[in-house]
Amino acid sequence: MIKVFLTLLALISISQAEQAFKYDYDQSQNRWTLANGVVSAVVELTPAGIFQLVQAGLPGKLWQAPANSVSSPLRFSVDNQTFDGSTQYSLVEQHTETTSRNGMRQVILLQAASGAIQVQVNFDLFVGQPVVRIRSVIKNISSSPVAITSADMLPLTFSEAGSPFRAFVVNQWVIASRDLDFQTTQSTLNSDGTPLTINSGAHGNQVSWVALRDSANRGIFAGWEFNGRSGATVRQSEAEAQLAFSVPIDSLHHPVPPGGSFYVPAGFIGFYQGDWDEAGYRTQRFVEAALAKPAPDLQRFPYMSWDSWGFQEQFDETILRRNAQIAADLGVELLIVDLGWAKQIGDWHADPAKFPNGLKAFADYVHALGMKFGVHLTPAEASPNSPILQVNPDWTSSESDHYFGSLSLCLAHAPVKNWVVNEIVRVIDEYSVDWILQDGENMVKTCNKTTHTHDAADSNYANSVEGIDSVVEEVLRQRPDVSWENCENGGNMMTFKMVQNYVTSITNDASGALGSRQGVFGATYPFPPRFADRYSPEVPSSTYNTQSYMFGGPWHLMNQLDQMTSDQLSFASWEIGAYKQSRGDIREGKVFHLTAAPGPGRIDAIESVYLGLNAVSIVTREGGTADTFLLKLRGLTAARVYQVHFQNDSRTLSMTGQQLLTDGVLVNLPDPQSSEIVYAARQ
CATH number for the domain whose boundaries are 2-291: 2.70.98.60
| Average pLDDT over all residues of the chain | 95
The stretches of 306-435 forming alpha helices (DSSP H) are 317-330, 359-368, 387-391, 414-431
Whether the per-residue pLDDT at 490 is higher than 90: the answer is no
More confidently predicted of 10 and 591: 591
* Cα dihedral: 346, 352, 353, 356 (round 10): 150
Angle at CA 177, nearest 5°, toward 175 and 179?
Answer: 100
Lowest mean pLDDT of 133-142, 234-243, 620-629, name the range: 234-243
Is residue 631 within 8 Å of residue 619, measured between CB atoms?
yes
Contacts of 432 (CB under 8 A, 6+ apart): 360, 363, 364, 367, 373
pTM metric for this prediction: 0.95
SS3 662: helix
Closest CA to 255 of 135, 116, 121, 79: 79
- For residues 486 and 172, give the distance between their C-alpha atoms in angstroms, rounded to a whole number: 13
CATH number for the domain whose boundaries are 349-409+422-506: 3.20.20.70
Angle at CA 349, nearest 5°, toward 344 and 350?
Answer: 90
pLDDT tens string 509-554: 878 999 999 999 999 999 999 999 999 999 999 999 999 999 999 9
Whether the per-residue pLDDT at 579 is higher than 60: the answer is yes
Strand 534-536's sheet: what is its strand order? Answer: 504-505, 483-486, 435-438, 372-377, 334-337, 304-307, 555-557, 534-536
Lowest mean pLDDT of 302-316, 331-345, 486-500, name the range: 486-500
Closest CA to 76 of 47, 118, 127: 118
Whether the per-residue pLDDT at 2 is higher than 50: the answer is no
Whether the per-residue pLDDT at 14 is higher than 60: the answer is no
536-558 per-residue burial string, b: 16 or more CB within 10 A, e: under 16: bbbbbbbbbbbbbbbbbbbbbbb
Q: What band does 18 get if pLDDT is binned at 50, 70 and 90?
A: low
Q: What band does 80 get if pLDDT is binned at 50, 70 and 90?
A: confident
Work out the average pLDDT over 142-160.
97
Lowest mean pLDDT of 68-72, 294-298, 402-406, 487-491, name the range: 487-491
Whether the per-residue pLDDT at 9 is higher than 60: the answer is no
Say what the pLDDT of residue 405 is: 96
- For residues 134 and 533, give the distance between their C-alpha atoms in angstroms, rounded to a whole number: 29
SS3 328: helix
User: Measured in whole angstroms, how far is the alpha carbon of residue 368 from the centre of its chain?
Assistant: 32
Closest CA to 200 of 176, 172, 234, 221: 172
Work out the average pLDDT over 201-221.
96
Say what the pLDDT of residue 19 is: 63
Alpha-carbon separation of residue 34 from 24, 96, 127, 154, 228 (angstroms) = 7, 10, 12, 18, 30
pLDDT tens string 632-652: 999 999 999 999 999 999 999
Whether the per-residue pLDDT at 1 is higher than 90: the answer is no
- For residues 655 and 637, give the distance between their C-alpha atoms in angstroms, rounded to a whole number: 11
Q: What band does 179 get if pLDDT is binned at 50, 70 and 90?
A: low
Is residue 665 within 8 Å of residue 658, measured between CB atoms?
no
Of all residues in the chain, the percent with pLDDT exceeding 70 is 96
- For residues 564 and 572, give the distance between their C-alpha atoms in angstroms, rounded to a whole number: 10
Helix (H) or strand (E) holding 414: helix 414-431
Is residue 681 within 8 Å of residue 633, measured between CB atoms?
no
Work out the average pLDDT over 451-479.
98
Helix (H) or strand (E) holding 431: helix 414-431
Q: Any idea which fold 591-682 has? A: Immunoglobulin-like (2.60.40)
Work out the average pLDDT over 640-667.
97
Q: What band does 278 get if pLDDT is binned at 50, 70 and 90?
A: very high
Work out the average pLDDT over 350-359.
98
Is residue 156 within 8 Å of residue 75, measured between CB atoms?
no
Question: What does R_g of the chain's alpha carbons equal in angstroms?
Answer: 26
Say what the pLDDT of residue 178 is: 54
Closest CA to 654 of 675, 616, 683: 683
Instruction: State how beta strands 242-246 and 89-99 pair.
Output: unpaired
End-to-end alpha carbon distance in the chain: 40
pLDDT tens string 379-415: 999 999 999 999 999 999 999 999 999 999 999 999 9
- For residues 440 and 403, give the distance between their C-alpha atoms in angstroms, rounded to a whole number: 6
**Does residue 85 come out as left (phi exceeding 0), alpha (psi in the -120 to 50 range) or beta?**
alpha
Whether the per-residue pLDDT at 177 is higher than 60: the answer is no
Closest CA to 587 of 635, 531, 530, 532: 530
Compute how many other C-beta atoms are within 10 angstroms of the C-beta atom of residue 215.
10
DSSP bridge partners of 77: 82, 150
Is residue 433 within 8 Å of residue 427, measured between CB atoms?
yes
What are the domain boundaries of the chain?
2-291, 349-409+422-506, 591-682
SS3 511: coil
Work out the average pLDDT over 96-117.
95
- For residues 231 and 239, give the distance between their C-alpha atoms in angstroms, rounded to a whole number: 24
Of all residues in the chain, the percent with pLDDT exceeding 90 is 92
Q: What band does 140 get if pLDDT is binned at 50, 70 and 90?
A: very high
The stretches of 57-216 forming alpha helices (DSSP H) are none
Angle at CA 563, nearest 5°, toward 558 and 564?
Answer: 85
Work out the average pLDDT over 317-324.
98
- Residue type at 287 in one-letter notation: V
Whether the per-residue pLDDT at 251 is higher than 90: the answer is yes
Instruction: State how beta strands 504-505 and 483-486 pair.
Output: parallel
- For residues 431 and 361, give the distance between their C-alpha atoms in angstroms, rounded to a whole number: 8
Closest CA to 277 of 593, 542, 45: 593
